[in-house]
Chain A
Amino acid sequence: MTKSTNPLISVADLKKIYVRGSEHIHAVYGISLDISKGDYIAFVGPSGSGKTTLLHLLGCLDNPTEGSLTVNGQNVFSNDRSMNERELTKLRRELFGYVFQKFYLIPTLTVRENITLPFAFYQKNEAEQTADRLADLLGISHRLDHLPKELSGGEMQRVAIARALINKPQILLADEPTGNLDSKRSAEIAEIFHKLNQDEGLTIILVTHNHALAESAGKMVELRDGRLV
């Protein structure tokens, strides 16, 4: 993987080992890589290859077992020290946006409320304007007052993307973002990601089984048995 001088995310000999009784499962085993600002990376590989676990580690959602992880120059995890939950929450809020296969929209909130949900936890100026701009960018302006159950799968994923972008993150992480969509909607999401990377300079890291989506990324990285191939 690329080694840059000033990477946004840097991991070295990263391991994640799950213990099930006497069995040790190496979900991620000794991965080292650097991700620079503006990169668009797709992790691909068969099920159980460790790509989603790696995404969770890079996104500071999970703690590695060994190795080191540095994000935006901050030591998130190393053998000496790891961030506490409060520090991790702050880091996630400021740097990351997350998109998941199952969207995870709050069914009782409208599209606008779902998009601006992060602001329920911390105040930011121009929340409404940002929401309008993102809705416009993602083509869901006409759906702002609707509930999630009134949307199609593609529209729900757009709302989830808008929610992930509302705090103006530097890195967008997406786990199987097209897993619940048909090929037409998948192509639309791929187009959106491409635009966000090219036009907004957003760093995007995604995990997918969708070849078309993976090919639209600038870099495609394959994993097998927890290792980079």
Chain B
Amino acid sequence: MPSLFGIAWKNLRRKRLRSLLTIVGIALSTWVLVSLLGFNQGYENSLNKDIDNLGFQVLLTAKGCPYEAATLMLKGGTGLKYMSESIIDSVIANPQVEKVTPMLMHAVFDPNKGESGGITAFLGIDPTTYPAMKSYLVFQQGQWFDQPEALEAVFGYEAAELEQREVGDLYLLPEAEVEIKVVGVLKRSGTQDDGTIFLPIKTLQKVYDVEGKITSVGIKVQKETDLTAYEDELYKMQDVQVVSMAQVKQTISNLVATARVMVMSIALIAILIAMVGVMNTVLMSVLERWQEIGIMKSMGAMTSHIFKLIWFETILLTFVGGVIGSIMSWILASVTDTLIRSVLPYSPTSSLVQIDILLALKAIGIIMGIGIISGIYPAFKAAKIRPIEAIRSTDGEI
């Protein structure tokens, strides 16, 4: 004895190519939808991870452009203003502060870089405080510097690859013409540190004649500290700028907002196309079966039975398409990641598109909801067929 669901399933198999093409359309829409939702949640998580990996919650810099400061936090920057080293004493004096680490970013023109030269940036760090804050940095070779003024350097993974340096090699500091020894190469961390060349801060100050100057101070506060209140206190200091984690996130979020709107619009268009596709497929199927449906009604099928029958077909199409699309989005997550990364002004280092089972179920739910709405008109049309009209006609009319 056939069930309504069974009849619906078998009917979709009647015009296999048409059903298949509709399912492909739905699957593509689901792919876009899941990827977009995955991007929304992945971007946020990835950005948080990047900021957590900074090792400090607040960055103090000399007064200047906030975007430059944000860039400094995440990618490094050039042409920055300097602060006096003495500022560290006033920062550490606050009992809410757990750790501080001074940093000196210095960029120079290296005529040997590339074909026509380029900018090389060095980060001067305090070997007694910086490694403790960046505990996630692991060495591939070697270790941190021995002495605060040692003529030594540690290369990030990508910097070492670019400069083709190993532990024990010498490196000539551009402009200063001073040779330093590579004492360590870091493993890939997936952060901005991969492209950094680290030197002891005292060495960098001395070599480039910026003694007593720093460009930023990384501050890690005590766990129970009210970050907003603490930032307000920092703002009272003269000629400094406070860059908090929240500010950085906000700044970057503003930068990517346009890209997000664009991706959202594409998803919306894809969903609308799928909706029209589903409606077209089911409506065609109803019109082709005009007489069959009329005969069913002459056998005692109520309006509600026919409505359900057609609705089942829509639900089946959207469910199968939704599942395939979700699987596709999971398999192709890295491709989507690359595509999205290419249109964003700033991308965090870890995965941008994060897809989990809950997200896939949510997307399938949305797609099925859309399918159910798309199926209303064809189902209504079918349910309203009168047996006599169907028997007399050869085909249905829209």
Contacts and interface: CB of A to CB of B under 8 A. Distances in A.
Interface in A69-123: 85-86, 89-90, 92-94, 96, 98, 100, 102, 104, 106-109, 113, 116-122
Given A104-B291, A108-B11, A108-B14, A117 B303 contact: no
A118 B7 CA distance: 12
B398 interface: no
A127 B1 contact: yes
Contacts of A197: none
Nearest to B306: A121
Nearest to A124: B1
B303 A118 contact: no
A98 B3 contact: no
Contacts of B301: 89, 118, 120-121
Contacts, number: 78
B10 interface: yes
B299 to A, nearest CB: 4
Given A116-B1, A120-B1, A106 B391 contact: no
B2 interface: yes
Contact of B10 (A61, A108, A118, A127): A108
A84 to B, nearest CB: 11
A109 B2 contact: yes
Contact of A117 (B2, B386, B388): B2
B298 A61 contact: yes
A58 B14 CA distance: 35
Interface in B356-398: 386-388, 391
A106 to B, nearest CB: 6
A116 B298 contact: no
Contacts of B341: none
A62 interface: yes
Contacts of A167: 299-300
A89 B13 contact: no
B2, B3, B10, B391: most-surrounded residue (chain A CB, <10 A): B2
Contacts of B181: none
B302 interface: yes
Nearest to B386: A85
B14 A107 contact: yes
B388 A61 contact: yes
A69 to B, nearest CB: 14
The binding surface of chain B is classed by DSSP as: helix
Contacts of A100: 295, 391
Nearest to A93: B300
Given A106-B7, A108-B11, A109-B2, A117 B299 contact: yes
Contacts of A143: none
A197 to B, nearest CB: 21
A210 to B, nearest CB: 20
A118 B300 contact: yes
Interface in B264-314: 291-292, 295-303, 305
A186 B1 CA distance: 29
B311 to A, nearest CB: 15
Contact of B297 (A62, A89, A94, A119): A89
A128 interface: yes
A185 interface: no
B259 interface: no
B1 A128 contact: yes
A56 interface: yes
A97 to B, nearest CB: 9
A126 to B, nearest CB: 11
Contacts of A92: 298-300, 387
Contacts of B303: 85-86
A113 B300 contact: no
Given A56-B391, A62-B388, A118 B11 contact: no
A13 B298 CA distance: 25
A167 B299 CA distance: 9
Interface of B: 1-4, 6-7, 10-11, 13-14, 291-292, 295-303, 305, 386-388, 391
Given A93-B299, A119-B1, A121-B296, 7 more contacts: A61-B298, A89-B300, A92-B299, A98-B299, A108-B10, A108-B13, A118-B301
24 contacts: A85-B303, A89-B300, A92-B298, A98-B298, A104-B292, A108-B7, A108-B14, A109-B2, A109-B10, A113-B2, A116-B1, A116-B2, A117-B7, A117-B296, A117-B299, A119-B1, A120-B2, A120-B3, A120-B305, A121-B4, A121-B299, A121-B301, A121-B302, A163-B299
